Amino acid sequence: GAGVSQSPSNKVTEKGKDVELRCDPISGHTALYWYRQSLGQGLEFLIYFQGNSAPDKSGLPSDRFSAERTGGSVSTLTIQRTQQEDSAVYLCASSLSDAADTQYFGPGTRLTVL
């Protein structure tokens, strides 16, 4: 079946602009995660959605970052007033039920803030 998809694959924006990154999880997966990976670094957890529960936003680096998940499926990560330090690859993953399960990752969105 189809895996996790993300769009766009690459996004170049100017400092101060808002960006929206999209993630389509695997159908039937109730858990969805957003991570950020800076060049040559490990993954930084951003936010976690589990079914209809309130999302775990503990990893969001600032109030410029927000995410929503509509209808328990597609998720959008929004970064307002982008800064150069926001440049990174943003990875989305989904799992069947929770973090104890295998996470399936999308190809990521490479964000470059000029």
Partner 1 sequence: SQQGEEDPQALSIQEGENATMNCSYKTSINNLQWYRQNSGRGLVHLILIRSNEREKHSGRLRVTLDTSKKSSSLLITASRAADTASYFCATDAGNMLTFGGGTRLMVKP
Binding region for partner 1 (CB under 8 A) = 4, 33, 35, 37, 39, 41-43, 45, 48, 50, 56, 59, 89, 91, 93, 98-100, 102-108
d(CA 71, CA 88): 27
Residue of 24, 55, 37 whose CA lies nearest to 91: 37
69, β-bridge pairs: 75
Q: In whole angstroms, how close is the CB of 81 to partner 1 at the nearest point?
A: 26
Smallest distance, partner 1 to C-beta of residue 71, A: 21
Q: Looking at beta carbons only, is 73 or 107 nearer to partner 1?
A: 107
Q: Strand pairing partners for 94?
A: 32, 104
Nearer to partner 1, 16 or 51 (CB): 51
Q: Which residues contact 28 (CB under 8 A, 6 or more apart)?
A: 96
We find the least distance from the C-beta atom of residue 99 to partner 1, in angstroms, to be 5
User: Cβ closer to partner 1: 46 or 113?
Assistant: 46
Between 37 and 80, name the residue whose CB sits nearer to partner 1: 37
